[in-house]
Amino acid sequence: MSTQKALELLGLPQEAAAFDGRITTRTTRSLVIVDRYDFTINQQGFVRSAYVEWQENNKRVTSVADLNDGQTTGDDLFGAYCLNWMANQIYSFGYDIFSISPERLTLVNGDKEVVFSREGNKIFIDSIFEIDPSGNPLTVPVQVVTESITWVNQVGVPPQTQKKVWRSRKKYVNYTWEKVQELTGLSKEDIIYNTRTTYNGEVADPNVYVTSIAADIQIIGESYEGIVYINGRDARTFDYRKLITSFNKTCPAYIPEWRLYNAPPVGFTISGATVVINAALYNPVDVVSGNADIFDIEDNSLTFNEPLAERATLIFYYAFGTTGKNENWGRKIDLETGEEASWH
């Protein structure tokens, strides 16, 4: 039941329930082009060559076959919530659902792809830069290092029997697909797959861990009430502060507020909002149409200027305390059409 409520508030399909869990680590993979200058070949000059190395989590591996494929040992710590990640990709970054099943859900946005997959209780989110189906030329981000090999003259060591390898700092450049394919001998699909980033997650006990955060706006007459949901449950109905967050600490108290977006702001405001109201003091609020954007602290009412060209949008927003990481979510409602949606 709690997962169903989270899906409803985050605007996600039923199949997304399989990915209700938490992200704990991140696996990064990259392609390294080594530009080698070997001065040990002869005394007259040097031999220049290039070869490919692969890296996972900034550690060198000997070949593509040795790339860590979804295992979490030695990965970077990374905390997030799978359902929120999915909703954020769809509603904040313009991704669309391309295919969906209980074991795999694929989101696409132009040349980018995000794939959610599940194996048992393990959840993986692969962020992949795909080939542009329109055929537009694309480049591949790679790391380039310069490697110099020379002789080392040491006391007691015969001349020209000991080599020294020096490497420059990494330089990030964009190579054409053709250039990378020439250097690696791999197909575009293999290059894309082996340079992806994987966020590793797991199905977690919602009585122990935070697995999703959401919000809702309840309307009774002219009164608007903001409700915080954690793991699909009204946060007012249980002790959510005993749960463990994505940054592996007990959940701090949330800090709510209302924001009205209606016109270009004048002066300093929060994230371009026309009016900001501390919801801890003023929740619920009365919302009425008028000819100005203003909050009346005396009668706890918000007036929005309906005749303006932009449609007025009211957002109930909350953030957790800044203990290690600031997580936030919200709900928005178009005051002129009544349409609601998740907001982040």
User: Residue type at 300?
Assistant: N
Is 116 a residue whose pLDDT tops 80? Answer: yes
CB-side neighbour CA atoms (13 Å) of 58: 5
Of all residues in the chain, the percent with pLDDT exceeding 90 is 43
Q: In the predicted model, what is the mean pLDDT of the chain?
A: 86
Q: Is the pLDDT of residue 72 over 50?
A: no
Render pLDDT for 218-262 as a digit per residue (tens, 0 to 9). Answer: 999 889 999 999 999 999 999 999 999 988 889 999 999 999 998
pLDDT band at 68 (very low <50, low <70, confident <90, very high): low
Instruction: Report whether 293 contacts 313 (CB < 8 A).
Output: no
- Top pLDDT among 280 and 300 is at 300
Q: Which two tokens stand for residue 205?
A: 């006990």
The string of pLDDT tens digits covering residues 132-176 is 445 455 677 888 999 998 887 766 667 667 788 889 998 988 888
pLDDT at 333 over 80: yes
Region 38-51: what's the mean pLDDT? 78
Q: What are phi and psi of 262, to 5 degrees?
A: -145, -30
Given its phi and psi angles, is residue 268 left (phi above 0), alpha (psi -120 to 50 degrees) or beta?
beta
Question: CA dihedral in degrees (308, 311, 314, 317; nearest 10)?
Answer: -120
Residue 73 pLDDT grade (very low, low, confident, very high; cuts 50, 70, 90): low
Residues 6 or more apart whose Cβ sits within 8 Å of residue 330:
215, 315, 316, 317, 318, 342, 343, 344
What secondary structure, in 3-state letters, does the chain show?
CHHHHHHHHHCCCHHHHHHCCEEEEEEEEEEEEEEEEECCCCCCCCEEEEEEEEEECCEEECCHHHCCCCCCCCCEEEEEEHHHHHHHHHHCCCCEEEEECCCEEEEEECCEEEEEEEECCEEEEEEEECCCCCCCCCEEEEEEEEEEEEECCCCCCCCCCCEEEEECCCEEEEEEHHHHHHHHCCCHHHHHHCCCEEEEEECCCCCCECCCEEEEEEEECCEEEEEEEECCEEHHHCCHHHCECCCCCECCCEEEEEEEECCCCCCCCCCCCCEEEECCCCCCEEEEEECCCEEECCCCEEEEECCCCCCCEEEEEEEECCCCCCCEEEEEEECCCCCEEEEC
* Higher pLDDT, residue 213 or 267: 213
Enter the tokens of residue 215. Answer: 């919000």
Q: 87 — phi, psi (to 5°)? A: -65, -40
Tell me the mean pLDDT in the region 306-320. Answer: 88
Report CA Rg, the chain: 27
- Asked if the model's pLDDT at residue 130 lies above 70, the reply is no
Structure tokens given for 153 = 């003259």
CB 171 within 8 A of CB 143: yes
Cβ proximity of 259 and 276 under 8 Å: yes
> Which amino acid, 287?
V
Residue 315 has pLDDT above 90, yes or no: yes
pLDDT of residue 29: 87
| Cβ burial 315-337 (10 Å sphere, 16+ → b, else e) | bbbbbbeeeeeebebbbbbebee
User: What is the structure's pLDDT at 43?
Assistant: 60
| Sign of the dihedral through C-alpha 327, 28, 166, 38 | negative
Q: Whole-prediction pTM value? A: 0.83
pLDDT at 1: 54
190 has pLDDT over 60: yes
Judged by phi (left if over 0) then psi (alpha if -120 to 50, else beta), residue 241 lies in alpha
What is the average per-residue pLDDT within 316-328? 75
Is residue 313 scored above 90 in pLDDT?
Answer: yes
pLDDT at residue 101 in the model:
86
Comparing 145-149, 205-209, 270-274, the range with the smallest average pLDDT is: 270-274
Specify the pLDDT at position 327. Answer: 79
Average pLDDT over every residue of 40-58: 79
Q: What is the pLDDT of residue 69?
A: 54
